[in-house]
Amino acid sequence: MTLSDDELDRYARQIVLPQFGGVGQRKLKEARIAIVGAGGIGSAVIPLLAGCGVGQLTIIDDDVVDTDNLHRQTIFRERDVGYSKADLALQYVQRLNRHVRAQPVQTRIDSENAQDLLAGHRLVIDGSDNFATRLAASDACVALGIPLLSAAAVQFQGQVGLFLQQPCYRCFVGDAFDADDCDTCAEQGVLGAVPAAVGSFAAMLALNTIAGVGDSHFGRLHLFDGEQLSWRAMRIPADPGCRACGSVEG
């Protein structure tokens, strides 16, 4: 896949990076990434991936913008209240970068539809706000062999994990939350800048992973403390009895 003159100009500041270069830029252009949730995490991830030139974005969200989303979901405006987040995210991408193809999907991911919705993607970034969706997306990624980047933020804390088959996100959280569809932000609150920090970190990890920059981060969880303003990383052990990845070769 070649880059046009317009693309070479547009991405010049990152193509000049020796670790990235034209090879990295072409890998981004070839990539098709699914983003689950166009909320606070998505508001950081979507502009960065579209701006940096990821070729195709699938944006999956069944929700509409609410007034109390606006402090953290920065791609939306006051006039967007009541309208589909997936459609608004598509408009945002179209205005930002005409080289990116975005597809909005106004559906809630569940265990029935997840594999159909996520098949064919190079990477899935989950920035949804509930465990039922996260686990459905994770199980589908394990079954499909697609890497999953899971990002979450609540109160002053955030976490970003990258998984490929084993260990998986379910190894990390267990089976207790499948029926739990609580909106954690609604119940526990979140400072507006926390999902932006966590989402920007997730975008960085996604771009590095697609372009092949830096070390592999599979099976690692990065934890953000927004009060101490620090990050730390830990390794996630595989659960041999995990019902999603337990039978998959590690």
Rounded CA separation 203/41 (Å)? 9
Q: Which residues pair with 25 in a beta bridge?
A: none
Cβ burial, residue 78 (10 Å; 0-12/13-18/19+):
exposed
Instruction: Give 64 or 143: the residue with its C-beta nearer to Zn ion.
Output: 143
Is residue 38 a contact partner of residue 86, using CB atoms and an 8 Å limit? yes
Q: C-alpha distances in angstroms, 95 versus 91, 208, 227, 237?
A: 6, 25, 35, 42
Q: Which residues pair with 151 in a beta bridge?
A: 160
Instruction: Give 90 or 141: the residue with its C-beta nearer to Zn ion.
Output: 141
Task: State in angstroms the smallest separation of the CB of 162 from Zn ion.
Answer: 14
Residue 164 binding Zn ion, by CB under 5 A: no
Q: Tokens standing for 88?
A: 């608004």
Task: State in angstroms the smallest separation of the CB of 244 from Zn ion.
Answer: 5
Instruction: Give 120 or 174: the residue with its C-beta nearer to Zn ion.
Output: 174
Name which of residues 3 to 42 contact Zn ion (CB under 5 A): none
Instruction: Give 65 or 245: the residue with its C-beta nearer to Zn ion.
Output: 245
Which residues does 109 contact at the CB level (< 8 Å), separation at least 6?
Answer: 36, 60, 117, 118, 128, 133, 136, 137, 140
Task: State in angstroms the smallest separation of the CB of 143 from Zn ion.
Answer: 11
Binding-site residue total for Zn ion (CB under 5 A)? 6
Rounded CA separation 134/191 (Å)? 21
Task: State in angstroms the smallest separation of the CB of 171 from Zn ion.
Answer: 3
Residue 135 binding Zn ion, by CB under 5 A: no
Instruction: Give 90 or 168: the residue with its C-beta nearer to Zn ion.
Output: 168
Which three-class secondary structure state does DSSP give residue 123? Answer: strand
Encode 176-187: b = buried (16+ Cβ within 10 Å), e = exposed: eeeeeeeebbee
Residue 140 binding Zn ion, by CB under 5 A: no
Residue 168 binding Zn ion, by CB under 5 A: yes
Which three-class secondary structure state does DSSP give residue 72? Answer: coil
**Which one of 85, 108, 170, 222 is in contact with Zn ion (CB under 5 A)?**
170
Site string for Zn ion, 205-244 (x = CB under 5 A): -------------------------------------x-x
Q: What is the CA radius of gyration of the chain?
A: 17
Residue 245 binding Zn ion, by CB under 5 A: yes
Residue of this chain nearest to Zn ion (CB atom): 242
Instruction: Give 196 or 245: the residue with its C-beta nearer to Zn ion.
Output: 245
Instruction: Give 168 or 207: the residue with its C-beta nearer to Zn ion.
Output: 168
Which three-class secondary structure state does DSSP give residue 85? Answer: helix
**Which one of 50, 160, 171, 221 is in contact with Zn ion (CB under 5 A)?**
171
- Which residues bind to Zn ion, rule: CB under 5 A? 168, 170-171, 242, 244-245
